[in-house]
Amino acid sequence: MKSKVIKSKPASTSSTQKSGGRKKSTAAVARAQRLFTALRTRYPNAHCELNWSKPHELLIATILSAQSTDVGVNKATPALFAKFPTPYDFAKASPAAIEPFVKTLNFWRNKAKAVHESMRVVTEQFNGEVPRTMDQLLTLRGVARKTANVVLGNVFHMNEGVVVDTHVGRLARRMGLSKHDDPVDVEMDLMGLFARENWCVLSHLLICHGRSVCKARGELCSQDRICKSFCSNA
C-alpha cells in the first residue's frame, strides 16, 4: 500500500504549532524540516509496509502488528482476510475461530480477541464502517493512538498525529527530536516540529531510516550522510 506522496513544504513555527503538539523553537522546527527534506530525498517511495485493500483490513493488520514484524503480519493476513471478508464476518465469528490465522504472531490469543471485539463494535456502532475520528477509533479494543494514526493517515489521508512505533521512537531520541520514552510524549514533540501535512509520511521515512541504517543493534553510525548531519552519535 502506497501512502499519498505530499510535497515537502517549508516549515514554519506557526504551521506546526497551530496543529497541536509541543511548542518548539523556530530553530528546532527549521532543523526538523531539513531532516525531513533529507529523508524524503533518500527514501522517495517510503510507504506503509502492511498489505491491505479495505479500511478494516489495515485496522486489523495494525492491531496484529504490535510486537510483530510487518513481514510476519503480511504472511498471516491473506488467509485471514479471505476467510473473513467483511467486519460483519469477523463480528459473527468468535475469537477462537480467528486464532488459527494469527497463531504465528506474538500475543495471538489477545490479538484474536481484539480483532473480534473491534470488528463487533465497528459492525454494531459504526454501521460496518471504520470510524474516521481519533476519539471513535480509540473506543475500539486493541487501538491506541499509534493504530488510530496509521488508519487515519494511510486510509483517510488525515494527519491527526504521528505514528510512533519502536523505530520512530528510537530515531526521534537519537536524532535529538525528543527526549521522551513514552510514545505519546514523542508524538507531541514530533507534532510540534514537523508540518502537519507531512506527519503520515514522516513516520514512514523514519521507519525506513531505522530499518536500513539506524538499527536497534549495530547502527551504522558515522557512515551515513543524514546521520552525520543530524545525529550526535555520528
- Per-residue cell: 219: 547502527
Q: Are 192 and 22 in contact (CB under 8 A)?
A: yes
Of residues 23 and 215, the one with the C-beta less far from ligand SF4: 215
Direct distance between the N- and C-terminal alpha carbons of the chain, in angstroms, rounded to an integer? 33
**By CB under 6 A, residue 61 contacts ligand SF4:** no
By CB under 6 A, name the one of 174, 186, 192, 194 that touches ligand SF4.
174
**By CB under 6 A, residue 175 contacts ligand SF4:** yes
**By CB under 6 A, residue 38 contacts ligand SF4:** no
C-alpha pair distances (Å), 197 with each of 34, 130, 134, 209: 15, 22, 17, 20
Smallest gap, in angstroms, from Cβ of residue 149 to ligand SF4?
Answer: 22
Candidate ranges 8-16, 39-47, 145-153, 225-233; the one touching ligand SF4 (CB under 6 A):
225-233
Smallest gap, in angstroms, from Cβ of residue 227 to ligand SF4?
Answer: 3
Neighbours of 22 (CB within 10 A): 16
- Per-residue cell: 190: 514530533
Tell me the one-letter amino acid at 123: T
**By CB under 6 A, residue 216 contacts ligand SF4:** no
Smallest gap, in angstroms, from Cβ of residue 234 to ligand SF4?
Answer: 4
